[in-house]
């Protein structure tokens, strides 16, 4: 893990969308402590002419507009230490926990948030942007995707969560063998729902036999993963 603070540059047409929810809770406290920081760079400031134009229509026709290569490049070149350059895009590498871990260990990242139909390919090629997707659906802009990527990384930074070992025991973690996490229960041992039904905690969890508890949790993880995400078992 890096000793320096984790720094994120965000290239966006909507800088006011940052830090968004990340100024709350643990990520907000970590931001205030300086464990991580960000600069939201307004691409509009690098637009063309009096109207600060940032977009143009696509060659070959088709619906929508594209963010211009020259404008995005000017915005990018204003960043002193861009680090790893990432374009949030539905056609990118799917974001998963091992990629999140890798990105949380960088010292700097630059996240390009697309709008309209996307970005002129040439600026992505010229500056060797990686493309990362947060899932197989289309958002109206890259900003929510950037916030999700940042949230997932920030919670892995040293000291952000109370116990750094927690991550390995979570879904997709190394201690769970990359599987989904088992179910959790807290007090009371029997809870009566307003539906009129009573639900009890599985006996094994109340008997203090830690070998048996580990065995039960492992079996639950395997069962849930088989039911919900058989693709993870193949990995
Ligand atoms: N025309 C693009 C396509 O079909 O792949 C979609 C453009 S989308 C309306 C506008 C921007 O939202 C994209 O440039 C990208 O930055 C962002 N975006 C949309 N879906 C995303 C996803 N699943 N993951 C990451 N970014 C996404």
Of the candidates 120, 150, 101, the residue with the CA atom closest to the CA atom of residue 56: 120
Q: Do domains 6-154 and 170-234 have the same CATH topology?
A: no
**Sequence-ordered list of residues with C-beta below 8 angstroms from that of 149, at least 6 positions apart, any chain:** 86, 88, 95, 100, 103, 111, 132, 134
Q: Whose CA is nearest to atom 27 of ligand 1?
A: 89
What percent of the residues of the chain are helix, what percent strand, and what percent coil, each to the nearest 5?
40, 20, 40
Kindly give the distance from the C-alpha atom of residue 2 to the centroid of ligand 1, in angstroms, as a whole number: 30
Q: What is the CATH topology of the domain spanning 170-234?
A: 1.10.1270
The tally of CA atoms less than 13 A away on the side-chain side of residue 199 is 7
| Residue to probe by mutation, ligand 1, list 142, 143, 147, 151, most atoms within 8 Å of CB | 142
In short, whether 111's Cβ falls inside 6 Å of ligand 1 is no
Per-residue model confidence (pLDDT) at position 1: 44
Q: What whole-number distance in Å separates Cα of residue 55 and Cα of residue 44?
A: 10
> What are the structural domain ranges in the chain?
6-154, 170-234
Task: Pick the closest to residue 44 from 22, 68, 21 (CA basis).
Answer: 68
Local structure of residue 116 (DSSP, 8 states): T
Report CA(64)–ligand 1 centroid distance (Å): 13
Please report, in tens digits, the pLDDT of each residue of the chain (235 residues total).
Answer: 444 699 999 999 999 999 999 999 999 999 999 999 999 999 999 999 999 999 999 999 999 999 999 999 999 999 999 999 999 999 999 999 999 999 999 999 999 999 999 999 999 999 999 999 999 999 999 999 999 999 999 999 999 987 766 777 788 987 778 999 999 999 999 999 999 999 999 999 999 999 999 999 999 999 999 999 999 998 7
Domain 6-154 in CATH: superfamily?
SPOUT methyltransferase, trefoil knot domain (3.40.1280.10)
Q: Is 134 in the pocket of ligand 1 (CB under 6 A)?
A: yes
Ligand 1 lined by 142 (C-beta under 6 Å)? yes
């Amino acid at each position: 893990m890096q000793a320096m603070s984790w720094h994120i540059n965000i290239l966006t047409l909507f800088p006011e969308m940052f830090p968004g929810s990340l100024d709350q809770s643990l990520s907000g406290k970590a931001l205030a402590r300086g464990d991580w920081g960000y600069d939201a760079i307004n691409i509009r400031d690098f637009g063309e002419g009096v109207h600060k134009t940032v977009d143009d229509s696509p060659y070959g026709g088709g619906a929508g507009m594209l963010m211009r290569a020259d404008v995005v490049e000017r915005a990018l070149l204003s960043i002193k230490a861009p680090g790893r350059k990432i374009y949030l895009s539905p056609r990118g590498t799917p974001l998963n926990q091992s990629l999140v871990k890798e990105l949380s260990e960088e010292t700097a990242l630059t996240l390009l948030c697309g709008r309209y139909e996307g970005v002129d390919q040439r600026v992505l090629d010229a500056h060797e942007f990686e493309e990362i997707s947060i899932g197989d659906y289309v958002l109206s802009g890259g900003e929510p995707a950037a916030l999700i990527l940042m949230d997932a990384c920030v919670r892995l930074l040293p000291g952000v969560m109370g116990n750094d070992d927690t991550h390995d025991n979570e879904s997709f973690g190394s201690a769970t063998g990359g599987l989904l996490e088992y179910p959790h229960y807290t007090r009371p041992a029997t809870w009566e729902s307003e539906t009129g039904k009573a639900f009890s905690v599985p006996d094994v969890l109340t008997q203090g036999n830690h070998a048996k508890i580990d065995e039960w949790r492992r079996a639950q993880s395997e069962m849930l993963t088989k039911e919900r995400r058989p693709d993870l078992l193949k990995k």
